[in-house]
Amino acid sequence: MAATNAGLEYAPTWCVGCGNYGILTAWKKAMGILEIDLEKVALVTGIGCGSKIGQYVNTYRIETLHGRTLPVASGVKLANHELTVIAEGGEGDGMGLGMGHFIHSARRNLDLSYFIHNNQIYALTKGQASPTTDRGTVTKFTPPPLGNVEQAVNIVQLALSAGASFVARGSAANIDQLAQLMAEAVRHRGFAVLDILQPCVSFNPVNTYQWYKERALSLESVSGYDETDRKQALEYGSLWGEKIPLGVFYRSEKPTFSDSLPQLEKGTLVAQALDGIDVTALMHKLA
């Protein structure tokens, strides 16, 4: 299946003006940039507004339980490591219930791309503070005068600290840059994290398109920035407020989790014969 057929004709149910439209457009452009065979792509999503993207793209997909995107994506990749596997969902899905899976996926360097739709709010359930909601933000569930009293998760910093070998941040408002970042993440051999900033026009009146536009700092414009320098990546990854960096923070080459599995040396698990495998003794031991 050609990458030019990446979109389906179903009408998305997102709100008018939702940042997910920009992400969907970038997703389809990225597949075109990669010239990828869509029949060899598996998209795994969680639960939430962002995860609904799987319903609007023309590839194999699994919509799994809330917060369980990465375990399922890991299983798909290990069963058939020749597939391009993309995990995708919102920051509530990935940084809430899914945070433990996120950290272990990063430290294992699983060969996956993880696109996180980050609108800093639980949108599908109508506006609770999410793990990336800024401290002090007032929502219907975090009232004034204090607003949200919890410290926000910085996805870029967390990914770098956990050992991800590719870390980037894009914006739903800059579709061309976002498509390029998606393509680079997919090309990267290892765990590639892409934090995608997107406004929620219904439940987040603070982090709007204009708010992001006034703060965006392209890392490509930073003189001397070195994507292989993890210390520098951590320094710029800590910025959030007056300036919010966009682009590739860090990339490195190191062995993937699959590289350490001798079972995969003979080919994909799905292609290996099951004849002669007897698990009776193991089942008796576990009984």
- Mapping DSSP onto H, E and C, the string for 170-203 reads EECCCHHHHHHHHHHHHHCCCCEEEEEECCCCCC
Tokens of 256: 């993937």
User: Region 14-19: what's the mean pLDDT?
Assistant: 95
Q: Tell me how far the alpha carbon of residue 144 is from its chain's centroid.
A: 32
**CA distances to 85, 154, 275 from 254, in Å:** 18, 24, 34
Coil, strand or helix: which one is 47? coil
Distance CA 70, CA 243 (A): 30
Rg (CA), the chain: 19
**What's the pLDDT tens digit per position in 18-66?**
999 999 999 999 999 999 999 999 999 999 999 999 999 999 999 999 9
CB neighbourhood size of 56 (10 A)? 20
Residue where the block lists tokens 């590739």? 248
pTM: 0.94
Per-residue model confidence (pLDDT) at position 278: 87
pLDDT digits (tens, 9 = 90+) for 96-141: 999 999 999 999 999 999 999 999 999 999 999 999 999 999 998 9
How confident is the model over 154-197, as pLDDT tens digits? 999 999 999 999 999 999 999 999 999 999 999 999 999 999 99
Query: Cα dist. 38→5, 74, 182, 217, 266 in Å?
Result: 8, 19, 15, 33, 25
pLDDT of res. 2? 67
Query: What band does 266 get if pLDDT is binned at 50, 70 and 90?
Result: confident
| Position 10 pLDDT exceeds 90 | no
Residue 89's pLDDT is 96
**Where residue 274 falls among pLDDT bands split at 50, 70, 90?**
confident
Distance from C-alpha of 201 to C-alpha of 71, rounded to nearest angstrom: 31
Q: What is the pLDDT of residues 199-224, one digit of tens each?
A: 999 999 999 999 999 999 999 999 99
Residue linked to tokens 């995969």: 264
